[in-house]
Structure 1
Amino acid sequence: MSLSGRDMMFIGGIPAVISFNASSRMFRGVFVGLNAEVDFLARSPMELQPQGEAALSIFLETCRQQNRSPLLARQVGQEGYLLEDIYAELEEPARQKGIDLYQLIRVQTQEFQKTEKRKKHSAVFLNF
């Protein structure tokens, strides 16, 4: 698997932008659409998914403990969440790759929410 530096993967239905830092030889993922910067590091593309799952789990648990939404709201005066806009922008690139984005999100969200024996789906990457 080769990453271009403009790749996005989905973990638990949440998109993460993936980049590669040549000097540190590390991959970095940053979730988008959340109300805080949630990132994760990995030495190889194969390590991205488990590292991302761990970071997202910790973040979501922190939000539950603080009784706050994990999602970033749209700008003042607009209802809804930024993540909805991001999904709309990603729908066409996903379709071009033969991926039903909303089905992927539903399945990943359901599986991520299961705490016991979570099924491991292969990572889904979209290139821009």
Structure 2
Amino acid sequence: MNNIMNIDGFKAIITYDNEIEMFRGEFINLNGGADFYANDVKELRKEGQKSLQTYLDVCKEKGINPKKEYSGKLPLRISPELHSQLVEASLRQGISINQIVQNSLKETLI
């Protein structure tokens, strides 16, 4: 399981890289890549702030929106059996398959 660090309103996934024996952070939900490394959490936060600021400066300079925007559409492949079960559940509950999937995802993410 990875941890998430919030830096100035942006979230970064934090992992430990055994090969270089350092913590690694990588910002998520950006239109580009921004990562950072450090030996301890305090330094990791500092390096994250530097990396983020550099990224935001470049985006501003190039007129790019720094945050990735999502369409809300999620292509999903499932087995025919599960699809059949979803149709039955949808009819039984009187709601759309989309609503069943949304409800399940919300429940999982809580």
Please state which band the TM-score falls in when normalised by the shorter chain: 0.5 to 0.7
Residue 76 of structure 1: CA displacement?
Answer: 8.3
State the secondary structure of the residue aligned to 1:28: strand
C-alpha displacement at 1:75, in angstroms?
Answer: 3.6
Partner in structure 1 of residue 31 of structure 2: 35
Q: Report the equivalent of 1:47.
A: 43
Q: How big is the shift at 1:77?
A: 7.1
The normalised TM-score by structure 1 is 0.54
Q: Which runs of 5+ in 1 are unaligned?
A: 79-87, 93-128
Offset of residue 74 of structure 1: 1.0
Specify whether residues 22 and 77 from structure 1 end up closer, same or farther in structure 2 by C-alpha distance, changes over 3 A only. closer
Count of residues in Structure 1 that have an aligned counterpart in Structure 2? 78
Return the letter of the residue paired with 2:58.
T
**1:55, 1:23 → 2: CA distance?**
22
In the alignment, structure 2 segments of 5+ residues that lack a partner are 75-105
Amino acid in the other structure paired with 2:44:
L
Tell me the distance in 2 between the aligned counterparts of 1:23 and 1:34.
Answer: 26
State the one-letter code of the partner of 2:69: A
3-state SS of the aligned residue for 1:60?
A: helix
1:75 and 1:49, CA in 2 relative to 1: closer, same or farther beyond 3 A?
same
- Distance (whole Å) between structure 2 residues aligned to residue 72 and residue 46 of structure 1: 27
Matching residue within 38, 57, 62 for 2:53? 57
Give the structure with the higher percent helix.
Answer: 2
Percent identity among equivalent residues? 29
* RMSD value, Cα: 2.5
Q: Give the TM-score, by structure 2 length.
A: 0.63
Query: Which residue type is aligned with residue 33 of structure 1?
Result: N
